[in-house]
Amino acid sequence: MPKNITVQKIIGILLHRLPLIIASGFLVGMIFYIYTSFFIKPVYATSTMIYVQNYGKGGANQNATDDAEDVTATSPAGGGANDSNNAVAQKIFNSDLAGSASLASSCVILFQNDGEVTQWYDGCNVTMKENTFYITISVTGRNPEKCSAVANIVAEKCAESFHNRFAYGTIGTIRKAYTPTQPVSPNKKKNTIIGVGVGVLLACLISVLLELIDTTIKNDDDLTAIYKLPVFAEIPDFESSGR
Protein backbone atom coordinates (compact mmCIF):
# COMPACT_ATOMS: atom_id res chain seq x y z
CA MET A 1 0.00 0.00 0.00
CA PRO A 2 1.51 3.38 -0.97
CA LYS A 3 2.49 5.61 1.89
CA ASN A 4 1.15 9.06 2.46
CA ILE A 5 4.26 11.24 2.20
CA THR A 6 3.94 14.76 3.56
CA VAL A 7 6.40 17.62 3.73
CA GLN A 8 6.82 17.09 7.45
CA LYS A 9 7.55 13.42 6.91
CA ILE A 10 10.11 14.18 4.18
CA ILE A 11 11.87 16.60 6.52
CA GLY A 12 11.88 13.92 9.21
CA ILE A 13 13.37 11.38 6.78
CA LEU A 14 16.11 13.78 5.74
CA LEU A 15 16.95 14.70 9.32
CA HIS A 16 17.08 11.04 10.25
CA ARG A 17 19.55 10.35 7.42
CA LEU A 18 21.46 13.63 7.77
CA PRO A 19 24.86 12.03 8.48
CA LEU A 20 24.53 9.89 5.37
CA ILE A 21 23.54 12.91 3.27
CA ILE A 22 26.54 14.93 4.52
CA ALA A 23 28.90 12.03 3.89
CA SER A 24 27.50 11.58 0.38
CA GLY A 25 27.99 15.26 -0.44
CA PHE A 26 31.57 15.18 0.85
CA LEU A 27 32.40 11.99 -1.06
CA VAL A 28 30.99 13.15 -4.40
CA GLY A 29 32.61 16.58 -3.94
CA MET A 30 36.00 14.90 -3.45
CA ILE A 31 35.44 12.78 -6.57
CA PHE A 32 34.69 15.90 -8.60
CA TYR A 33 37.78 17.65 -7.19
CA ILE A 34 40.10 14.74 -7.95
CA TYR A 35 38.72 14.34 -11.46
CA THR A 36 39.07 18.09 -12.13
CA SER A 37 42.62 18.20 -10.77
CA PHE A 38 44.10 15.14 -12.43
CA PHE A 39 41.98 14.20 -15.44
CA ILE A 40 41.01 17.54 -17.03
CA LYS A 41 43.80 19.43 -18.78
CA PRO A 42 43.95 23.13 -17.86
CA VAL A 43 43.15 25.79 -20.45
CA TYR A 44 44.90 29.17 -20.44
CA ALA A 45 43.72 32.42 -22.00
CA THR A 46 45.28 35.74 -22.91
CA SER A 47 44.53 38.60 -25.28
CA THR A 48 46.00 41.55 -27.10
CA MET A 49 44.26 44.69 -28.33
CA ILE A 50 44.86 46.64 -31.53
CA TYR A 51 43.21 49.72 -33.01
CA VAL A 52 42.23 50.65 -36.54
CA GLN A 53 41.68 54.17 -37.86
CA ASN A 54 40.47 55.30 -41.23
CA TYR A 55 42.60 58.45 -41.10
CA GLY A 56 46.29 59.12 -40.93
CA LYS A 57 48.47 59.63 -37.91
CA GLY A 58 48.15 63.40 -38.39
CA GLY A 59 44.62 63.07 -37.08
CA ALA A 60 42.46 64.62 -39.82
CA ASN A 61 40.56 63.32 -42.78
CA GLN A 62 39.00 65.10 -45.71
CA ASN A 63 36.22 66.45 -43.52
CA ALA A 64 38.76 68.40 -41.51
CA THR A 65 40.26 69.80 -44.70
CA ASP A 66 36.85 70.88 -45.97
CA ASP A 67 36.03 72.58 -42.67
CA ALA A 68 39.41 74.28 -42.67
CA GLU A 69 38.53 76.01 -45.94
CA ASP A 70 35.61 77.71 -44.19
CA VAL A 71 38.00 79.47 -41.84
CA THR A 72 38.67 82.70 -43.71
CA ALA A 73 40.85 85.70 -43.19
CA THR A 74 38.41 87.07 -40.62
CA SER A 75 40.92 86.06 -37.97
CA PRO A 76 42.65 88.91 -36.19
CA ALA A 77 45.50 90.53 -38.06
CA GLY A 78 48.88 89.19 -37.16
CA GLY A 79 47.32 86.13 -35.50
CA GLY A 80 46.92 84.36 -38.83
CA ALA A 81 44.34 81.99 -40.25
CA ASN A 82 46.94 79.21 -40.22
CA ASP A 83 46.64 78.80 -36.46
CA SER A 84 42.87 78.41 -36.78
CA ASN A 85 43.30 75.97 -39.63
CA ASN A 86 45.67 73.84 -37.57
CA ALA A 87 43.26 73.77 -34.66
CA VAL A 88 40.50 72.55 -36.96
CA ALA A 89 42.77 70.05 -38.69
CA GLN A 90 43.73 68.46 -35.36
CA LYS A 91 40.15 67.63 -34.37
CA ILE A 92 38.78 64.11 -34.58
CA PHE A 93 35.31 64.27 -36.10
CA ASN A 94 32.41 61.92 -35.51
CA SER A 95 32.76 60.74 -39.08
CA ASP A 96 36.31 59.65 -38.25
CA LEU A 97 35.11 57.49 -35.36
CA ALA A 98 32.18 56.02 -37.31
CA GLY A 99 34.40 55.29 -40.29
CA SER A 100 37.05 53.69 -38.06
CA ALA A 101 34.43 51.49 -36.39
CA SER A 102 33.16 50.34 -39.78
CA LEU A 103 36.71 49.70 -40.94
CA ALA A 104 37.48 47.68 -37.80
CA SER A 105 34.44 45.48 -38.40
CA SER A 106 35.58 44.84 -41.96
CA CYS A 107 39.12 44.14 -40.77
CA VAL A 108 37.91 41.44 -38.36
CA ILE A 109 36.32 39.60 -41.29
CA LEU A 110 39.48 40.09 -43.33
CA PHE A 111 41.86 38.88 -40.62
CA GLN A 112 39.76 35.81 -39.79
CA ASN A 113 39.87 34.71 -43.43
CA ASP A 114 43.42 35.72 -44.32
CA GLY A 115 45.66 32.67 -44.57
CA GLU A 116 48.71 34.81 -43.78
CA VAL A 117 47.13 35.45 -40.38
CA THR A 118 45.37 32.17 -39.57
CA GLN A 119 48.46 30.07 -40.31
CA TRP A 120 50.00 31.39 -37.09
CA TYR A 121 47.25 30.06 -34.82
CA ASP A 122 49.46 27.02 -34.09
CA GLY A 123 46.66 24.86 -32.72
CA CYS A 124 45.30 27.54 -30.38
CA ASN A 125 41.74 28.85 -30.37
CA VAL A 126 41.81 32.44 -31.64
CA THR A 127 38.82 34.79 -31.65
CA MET A 128 38.57 38.43 -32.73
CA LYS A 129 35.97 40.91 -31.55
CA GLU A 130 35.67 44.58 -32.41
CA ASN A 131 34.40 47.35 -30.14
CA THR A 132 34.17 50.65 -32.01
CA PHE A 133 37.61 50.88 -33.67
CA TYR A 134 39.31 48.55 -31.19
CA ILE A 135 39.88 44.86 -31.96
CA THR A 136 40.55 42.37 -29.17
CA ILE A 137 42.40 39.20 -30.19
CA SER A 138 41.76 36.46 -27.62
CA VAL A 139 43.74 33.20 -27.57
CA THR A 140 43.08 30.06 -25.52
CA GLY A 141 45.12 26.86 -25.39
CA ARG A 142 46.88 24.28 -23.24
CA ASN A 143 50.27 26.02 -23.24
CA PRO A 144 50.38 29.51 -21.64
CA GLU A 145 53.62 30.56 -23.35
CA LYS A 146 52.27 29.50 -26.74
CA CYS A 147 49.05 31.43 -26.14
CA SER A 148 50.84 34.72 -25.51
CA ALA A 149 53.24 34.17 -28.42
CA VAL A 150 50.38 33.38 -30.81
CA ALA A 151 48.40 36.43 -29.70
CA ASN A 152 51.30 38.82 -30.28
CA ILE A 153 52.36 37.37 -33.62
CA VAL A 154 48.76 37.32 -34.87
CA ALA A 155 48.52 41.02 -34.00
CA GLU A 156 51.67 41.67 -36.04
CA LYS A 157 50.35 39.67 -38.99
CA CYS A 158 47.06 41.57 -38.82
CA ALA A 159 49.01 44.83 -39.18
CA GLU A 160 50.86 43.43 -42.19
CA SER A 161 47.61 42.26 -43.76
CA PHE A 162 46.09 45.70 -43.19
CA HIS A 163 48.97 47.55 -44.84
CA ASN A 164 49.02 45.12 -47.77
CA ARG A 165 45.35 45.68 -48.58
CA PHE A 166 44.62 49.28 -47.62
CA ALA A 167 46.38 52.34 -48.97
CA TYR A 168 44.98 54.52 -46.21
CA GLY A 169 44.36 54.41 -42.46
CA THR A 170 46.50 53.32 -39.56
CA ILE A 171 46.72 50.26 -37.31
CA GLY A 172 48.63 49.77 -34.09
CA THR A 173 48.89 47.79 -30.86
CA ILE A 174 47.38 49.10 -27.64
CA ARG A 175 48.17 46.17 -25.36
CA LYS A 176 50.40 43.17 -25.91
CA ALA A 177 49.46 39.73 -24.67
CA TYR A 178 50.96 38.53 -21.42
CA THR A 179 51.76 34.95 -20.40
CA PRO A 180 48.91 33.73 -18.15
CA THR A 181 49.90 32.18 -14.84
CA GLN A 182 46.52 30.69 -13.88
CA PRO A 183 44.22 28.59 -16.08
CA VAL A 184 40.74 29.85 -16.88
CA SER A 185 39.39 26.31 -16.76
CA PRO A 186 38.67 23.97 -15.19
CA ASN A 187 37.44 25.79 -12.09
CA LYS A 188 38.29 23.43 -9.24
CA LYS A 189 36.30 25.33 -6.62
CA LYS A 190 33.19 25.56 -8.78
CA ASN A 191 33.33 21.91 -9.80
CA THR A 192 33.83 20.80 -6.19
CA ILE A 193 30.79 22.80 -5.06
CA ILE A 194 28.77 21.27 -7.90
CA GLY A 195 29.93 17.82 -6.78
CA VAL A 196 28.86 18.48 -3.19
CA GLY A 197 25.46 19.64 -4.42
CA VAL A 198 25.04 16.58 -6.63
CA GLY A 199 25.99 14.27 -3.76
CA VAL A 200 23.56 15.88 -1.33
CA LEU A 201 20.74 15.86 -3.89
CA LEU A 202 21.29 12.20 -4.76
CA ALA A 203 21.38 11.22 -1.09
CA CYS A 204 18.12 13.09 -0.43
CA LEU A 205 16.37 11.47 -3.40
CA ILE A 206 17.58 7.99 -2.46
CA SER A 207 16.48 8.49 1.16
CA VAL A 208 12.95 9.47 0.14
CA LEU A 209 12.79 6.69 -2.46
CA LEU A 210 13.82 4.06 0.11
CA GLU A 211 11.10 5.29 2.42
CA LEU A 212 8.50 5.03 -0.35
CA ILE A 213 9.37 1.44 -1.25
CA ASP A 214 9.70 0.33 2.38
CA THR A 215 6.44 -1.53 3.24
CA THR A 216 7.39 -2.63 6.74
CA ILE A 217 5.40 -1.39 9.75
CA LYS A 218 7.60 0.50 12.16
CA ASN A 219 5.19 2.14 14.63
CA ASP A 220 1.53 2.58 15.53
CA ASP A 221 1.19 5.47 13.12
CA ASP A 222 1.80 3.06 10.22
CA LEU A 223 -0.97 0.75 11.51
CA THR A 224 -3.39 3.63 11.86
CA ALA A 225 -2.61 4.88 8.35
CA ILE A 226 -3.08 1.40 6.81
CA TYR A 227 -6.11 -0.01 8.68
CA LYS A 228 -7.78 3.25 9.72
CA LEU A 229 -8.14 1.86 13.25
CA PRO A 230 -6.83 3.26 16.53
CA VAL A 231 -4.10 1.45 18.48
CA PHE A 232 -5.02 0.93 22.13
CA ALA A 233 -1.87 -0.81 23.45
CA GLU A 234 1.56 -2.06 22.53
CA ILE A 235 3.38 -5.27 23.60
CA PRO A 236 7.05 -4.54 24.31
CA ASP A 237 9.73 -6.81 22.93
CA PHE A 238 11.66 -7.79 26.08
CA GLU A 239 14.21 -9.95 24.23
CA SER A 240 15.40 -7.19 21.86
CA SER A 241 15.45 -4.65 24.71
CA GLY A 242 17.74 -6.91 26.81
CA ARG A 243 15.42 -7.22 29.82
Which pLDDT belongs to residue 54? 87
pLDDT confidence of residue 85: 36
What pLDDT does 233 receive? 63
* 7-16 and 18-38 helices, crossing angle to 10°: 70
- What CA–CA distance (Å, rounded) separates 9 from 30? 30
Backbone dihedral angles phi then psi of residue 139, each to the nearest 5 degrees: -130, 130
CATH number of this structure's domain 44-175? 3.30.70.1130
Q: What is the dihedral of CA 11, 15, 19, 22, to 10 degrees?
A: 40
CB atoms within 10 A of CB 41: 8
CA dihedral (216, 218, 223, 226) positive or negative: negative
**For position 210, what pLDDT does the model report?**
87
Q: Other C-beta atoms within 10 Å of 174: how many?
A: 12
**Contact between residue 203 and residue 21 where contact means Cβ atoms under 8 Å apart:** yes
pLDDT (tens place) for every residue of the chain, 243 residues total: 455 677 888 898 899 899 999 999 999 999 999 999 999 999 999 999 999 998 765 443 444 334 433 433 333 333 344 344 334 556 777 788 899 999 999 999 999 999 999 999 999 999 999 999 999 999 999 999 999 999 999 999 999 999 999 988 899 999 999 999 999 999 999 999 999 999 999 999 999 898 888 766 666 666 666 666 676 666 676 666 555
Q: Where in the chain is the domain with CATH 3.30.70.1130?
A: 44-175
